[in-house]
Amino acid sequence: MIKVKNLHKTYKKGVKAVNGLNFKVKAGEIFGLLGPNGSGKTTTINAILDLVDYETGEIILFDNKYKTKVEAKKHIGLITQEVGVFNELTVRENIDYFCGLYINDEKLRAQYVEEAMDFVQIKDFAKFKPKKLSGGLLRRLHIACGIAHKPTLIFFDEPTVGIDPQSRNHILEQIKVLNKNGATIVYTSHYMEEIEMLCDYILIMDKGQVIAEGNYDALIDQIDLAEYIEIEYKGEMPLKVVTEINELPGILEVIHTKEKLVIKTSEDDKAFIKIIHILENNNVDYSRANANKPSLNDVFLELTGKELRD
């Protein structure tokens, strides 16, 4: 659906937003595009959508199925982070307007508008104007406006920011339905659990370049952290125990708090068993011991660093 080849984009003062970027989005997948602030995500999406010029490189959409960019755009949906609807129009009128940018046939457009309202479950509010809608309903209207013309490639840019858990869950489930019905999804979010839940393939970029890509398991393999172990205990934790754990092979870090040890290790099951032996040999009264695989958030921080970004 998308091929980006050796893309370069430089802004004023020599700031390289995109620096030799290469990736593909396959038809039918949910593709997660991740990166810290300033990594080049937005510029990349804008370049794909022909909203910004770029110096060199190539972007191929739909395998060049359509002769012009205008024709290709008829098959693309965009749901931005900022809600963009007309406050003067009702829910139905907003959806009809945006659908009308692509669908000229009035009868077909009316059908699509009804189907879009049904899809996001907003038909009961069809005559409401946006100012009377809750944050969750406003997001659902925004999505309906972006998908009413039935695009086959849909970009979701932070679609769940600032809404309640119920609305967020509804949006995520509907994205799965869109994908099941044949749409290819490009999804960006700072909520890593959403990416884990939705995406078949994930690309992490920073400083305008790809720094890691693959499915969740492939990304986990690209960092040293194999698992982290949490030990909850009562009383005092002898420093001798902490030292012994630190000296085990594969231990990356031991975080010692008043009631918990958090141990990061590059060894899978072996480290956990050895740590339990150390605790029991030293008569440590622990109440819980868990070994957890690293999350996508752990991978993201390991690859992009923990410093704050503007």
- Cα(53)–Cα(222) distance, rounded to whole angstroms? 33
Do 189 and 54 reside in the same domain of the chain?
A: yes
Do 187 and 216 reside in the same domain of the chain?
A: yes
Q: Interior CA angle at 263 toward 261 and 265, to 5°?
A: 170
Q: Report the range of poorest mean pLDDT among 48-57, 98-107, 225-234.
A: 225-234
Do 35 and 137 reside in the same domain of the chain?
A: yes
CATH number of the domain residue 240 falls in: 3.30.70.100
Q: What is the pLDDT of residues 171-225, one digit of tens each?
A: 999 999 999 999 999 999 988 999 999 999 999 999 999 999 999 889 988 888 8
Do 103 and 158 reside in the same domain of the chain?
A: yes
pLDDT at 114 over 90: yes
Q: Report the range of poorest mean pLDDT among 24-28, 181-185, 255-259.
A: 255-259
Domain end residue (candidates: 220, 252, 271): 220
Is 302 part of a structural domain of the chain? Answer: no
Q: pTM, whole model, 2 decimals?
A: 0.87
pLDDT at 268 over 80: no
Do 175 and 265 reside in the same domain of the chain?
A: no
pLDDT at 309 over 70: no
Do 16 and 165 reside in the same domain of the chain?
A: yes
SS3 133: coil
- Cα(295)–Cα(197) distance, rounded to whole angstroms? 11
pLDDT at 69 over 90: no
Instruction: Give the closest residue to 34 by CA, choosing from 168, 212, 173.
Output: 212
Do 59 and 195 reside in the same domain of the chain?
A: yes
Q: Are strands 76-79 and 153-157 parallel, antiparallel or unpaired?
A: parallel
Residue for token pair 């409401």: 128
* Number of folded domains that form the chain: 2
Is 179 part of a structural domain of the chain? Answer: yes
The whole domain housing 268 covers 227-293
Is 81 part of a structural domain of the chain? Answer: yes
Is 50 part of a structural domain of the chain? Answer: yes
Is 299 part of a structural domain of the chain? Answer: no
Do 211 and 279 reside in the same domain of the chain?
A: no
* pLDDT average, residue stretch 229-252: 92
Do 87 and 215 reside in the same domain of the chain?
A: yes
Task: Report the pLDDT value the prediction gives residue 81, as an integer from 0 to 100.
Answer: 87
Strands (E), 47-199: 56-61, 76-79, 153-157, 184-188
Q: Are strands 2-10 and 16-25 parallel, antiparallel or unpaired?
A: antiparallel
pLDDT at 275 over 90: yes
Task: Report the pLDDT value the prediction gives residue 115, as an integer from 0 to 100.
Answer: 97
- Cα(36)–Cα(56) distance, rounded to whole angstroms? 24
Q: What is the mean pLDDT of the chain?
A: 92
pLDDT at 267 over 80: no
Task: Report the pLDDT value the prediction gives residue 225, as an integer from 0 to 100.
Answer: 83
Cβ neighbours of 57 (radius 10 Å): 16
Do 136 and 38 reside in the same domain of the chain?
A: yes
| 13 Cβ contact partners less than 8 Å away, ≥ 6 residues apart | none
Contact 49, 41 (CB under 8 A): no
Higher pLDDT, 187 or 170: 187
Do 261 and 161 reside in the same domain of the chain?
A: no
CATH number of the domain residue 130 falls in: 3.40.50.300
Do 125 and 179 reside in the same domain of the chain?
A: yes
Is 282 part of a structural domain of the chain? Answer: yes
Task: Report the pLDDT value the prediction gives residue 163, as an integer from 0 to 100.
Answer: 83
